[in-house]
Amino acid sequence: MRTFGLIGKSLTHSFSKDFFSKLFEKENIDAEYINFELKDIAEIKGLFAEQKNLSGLSVTVPYKVAVIPFLDELSREAKAIGAVNTIVIQDNKTIGHNTDAFGFQQSIKPFLTLQHERVLILGTGGASKAVAYVLKKIGLDVLYASRNPKSENEFHYDEINIHMVKACKLIVNCTPVGTFPNVDECPQFPFEFLTEEDLVVDLIYNPEKTVFLQKAQENGATILNGQAMLEQQALKAWELWNGRESQF
């Protein structure tokens, strides 16, 4: 039996195990999917050594960037993005891929219009790197909000003002703030400056509508959560692991 799994720090409420287990059963594939909680990313070395039938892994926060030094190779896209959310293990070689970019592109495609010239991304972690990669390819200007700004296109949350919100008709929350069970939390943002012209995306999928999205919707914005992105990136990972598309 082939083994697949998810690595992260807290995986109790993860979508992946149930999704892939059902998919393996539906496709009649002899495989299991296991959650591997790692206190430190260095523990992945032991995981690779102990799990002899390991064929692939999904990677979630906070290890999408930290996992890179422990891999043998990166796909061209993962290298360009600087983050990995899918690992393929083949011929004793670990290859890092990024299917988040594909998932995000597929999910946001129906919502983008010509007025979306600039985006403000909340967070600078692994998920934000994939989102920025997609939007830059499309031709959008990308700005970031960060607790610790480090470059000229990064701003502290306190610096987000009416002019920035009016210039960025697309806002994407790439932070985990508001994820279950901490559903009452919300990233710092001046929601009062939003209008019906704005598209606000939260990559969180549990809860379905975060406080962040609720407040954005109350101020007239169109909202989108992370469920579609999650499913699309998972199906792309499946394709990489099995060499074919799922019929799911």
Q: Are the C-beta atoms of 9 and 38 separated by less than 8 Å?
A: yes
* Domain-ending residue, one of 98, 130, 159: 98
Burial (Cβ within 10 Å: 0-12, 13-18, ≥19) of residue 55: middle
* Domain-ending residue, one of 98, 118, 153: 98
Residues listed for the chain: 248
Range of the domain at 111: 102-228
Q: Looking at the domain assignment, is residue 245 inside a domain?
A: no
Within this chain, do residues 117 and 70 fall inside the same structural domain, yes or no? no
- Sheet with 73-74: list strands edge to edge: 31-37, 2-8, 54-59, 86-90, 93-97, 73-74
H or E stretch including 178? none
Q: Which residue has the tokens 């607790």?
A: 147
At 243 the pLDDT is: 84
Q: How many domains does the chain have?
A: 2
* Domain-ending residue, one of 98, 129, 159: 98
64 included as an active-site residue: yes
Pairing of strands 86-90, 93-97: antiparallel
Q: Indicate yes or no: pTM above 0.75.
A: yes
| Mean pLDDT, 10 residues at a time, the chain of 248 residues | 95 89 92 97 97 97 97 98 97 96 97 95 97 97 96 96 98 96 97 98 97 98 97 96 69
Q: Are the C-beta atoms of 84 and 72 separated by less than 8 Å?
A: no
- Which one of the listed residues 22, 26, 64, 215 is annotated catalytic? 64
Residues 6+ apart with CB under 8 A from 130: 81, 83, 85, 98, 100, 101, 104
Within this chain, do residues 110 and 69 fall inside the same structural domain, yes or no? no
Closest CA to 98 of 126, 124, 78: 78
Give the largest CA-CA distance in the chain.
56
Q: CA-CA distances (angstroms) from residue 6 to 15, 119, 162, 164, 239? A: 10, 30, 40, 37, 16
Q: Looking at the domain assignment, is residue 248 inside a domain?
A: no
Within this chain, do residues 222 and 188 fall inside the same structural domain, yes or no? yes
At 13 the pLDDT is: 78
Q: What are phi and psi of 224, to 5 degrees?
A: -150, 130
Q: Looking at the domain assignment, is residue 192 inside a domain?
A: yes
CA distance 155 to 87: 32
